[in-house]
Amino acid sequence: MRLRLTALAVCVAAFAVAWPAAAADRLTLDDAFQRVAQTHPDLRLFGPRQDVLGAELDRASLRPAYIAGATVENAFGTGEASGLSGAELTLTLASVLERGGKLDARRTLVQSRIDALAIERETRRLDLLAEVARRYLAIVTARQQAAIAQVDIDQRQRTVAAARRRHEAGASPESVVLTAQAALARAELDRARADQQMTAARQHLAAMWGEQAPDFDVADVDALQLAEVADFATLAQWLERNPELARFADARRIGEARLQLARTEATPDVDWQVGVRRLQATDDFGLTAGVSIPLGASARAQPGIRAAQAELAALEIEREAAGLSLYSTLADAHGRYRVAQLEVSRIGEDVLPRLARAEAAAATAYRAGAASYLEWASLQAERTTALRQQLNAALDAQRALIEIQRLTGQAFIAGPAPSTQGATP
């Protein structure tokens, strides 16, 4: 259990450190985690479920009840047995003597279910934290898309101003001005769309803790800063601490407890009864006692034993299948992260600097009449496209990183990335 709690704490920290905090009046990712952890109904539901299992444990700990009985014989008949004159009264106390460790087996089964509930809650919590991180990332995405759109607006405004001056000087037709204005309008539309997406993403995130009118802003985060992730072989070793695999250990304990409980059914219980009887004829009292044991208990218990054994065997296969699935998911996430990381780096180092110089040169040439508007506008569009491509690659990497953290429970701190800083809008 301590290992599971440690993995959970590490994973929470993993999400938090990947997104640095900013001003105190802005919502950090850690703040979002805390709100969800405290208010989400999926987590609060485990409290009542814990109470239910606690009640079941109390019930499983109960021993067979004592049964008090009274028997009247030779009453309300005919002749000497008419009325109560010849009645004989017997008072009895009866119960069941459980054999084979049934009481301990019942308690072990319920306790194993209680233990499994803890890891189930941790698994659900990690899933929620990953979802919070994705929704938080959506807000960051919209804001950086708005920043890119603002870069496009600024350069389109310069284009409109330059085209208007050339048109006023008679060096270009009015269609060039109108085309430049249309391009500016599209850039402004992209900015408005990004702003609207940010509002929707903020509402989507706030829905995780039930807030209907969110007015917060998220911390300043640069999605282009990517963490250094361990090699795949190391990640595969860390995969063993994933709660989705840890739950199979609890499931096995539950299965073993069920098997033990099924085996106890092979040992028959003993029904016993003791009492005292009043003999009407002599007005004397005598003790009575009785014991009964069902026959064939071992044979009747075999189907339940075989079923419990089959469930344990199936559980091993399920764990193997889950392990392969998680391994494949980790391999895919690691591969996507490496590819996206390379793309972000190369675009920042090789593509964007050259496009910026080319766009500046085209602007100078256009003002001097040595280049056409289409050449300048094309380079502006190329630069904007490259910025968006870099951002999309960074977002793919961040999503893959969230999945890697969820699977391994490890923190990867995003440090400064000089190769991408110059490309950040």
Burial of residue 214 (CB within 10 Å: 0-12, 13-18, 19+) is middle
Q: Do 238 and 406 touch, CB atoms closer than 8 A? A: no
pLDDT of residue 9: 40
**273 phi, psi to nearest 5 deg:** -155, 135
Within 10 Å of residue 137's Cβ, how many Cβ atoms? 23
- CATH fold of 2-63+98-421 reads Outer membrane efflux proteins (OEP) (1.20.1600)
How far apart CA 137 and CA 414 sit, in angstroms, is 14
pLDDT of residue 243: 77
Whole-model pTM: value is 0.74
CA angle at residue 59 from 53 to 60, to 5 degrees? 85
Tokens of 373: 């508007």
Three-state DSSP at 222 gives: coil
Q: Do 293 and 268 touch, CB atoms closer than 8 A? A: yes
How far apart CA 36 and CA 126 sit, in angstroms, is 11
pLDDT of residue 1: 40
First and final C-alpha spacing in the chain: 46
Name 5's Cβ contacts closer than 8 Å, sequence gap at least 6. 122
Name 6's Cβ contacts closer than 8 Å, sequence gap at least 6. none
Q: Do 384 and 148 touch, CB atoms closer than 8 A? A: yes
pLDDT of residue 244: 77
pLDDT of residue 413: 47
pLDDT of residue 24: 40
CA angle at residue 384 from 372 to 26, to 5 degrees? 145
Please, where are the H alpha helices in 265-372?
297-346, 352-367
pLDDT of residue 281: 67
pLDDT of residue 419: 38
Three-state DSSP at 75 gives: coil
Mean pLDDT by 10 residues, the chain (425 residues): 40 43 65 87 87 90 90 74 72 89 88 86 85 91 92 90 84 85 92 92 90 83 85 87 79 85 87 85 81 88 89 87 90 93 92 91 85 84 92 93 85 44 36
pLDDT of residue 219: 82
Domain regions of the chain by residue span:
2-63+98-421
Tokens of 354: 């050259």
Beta bridge partners of 73: 88
How far apart CA 381 and CA 376 sit, in angstroms, is 9
Beta bridge partners of 274: 93, 289
Q: What is the 3 state secondary structure string of 353-388?
A: HHHHHHHHHHHHHHHCCCCCHHHHHHHHHHHHHHHH
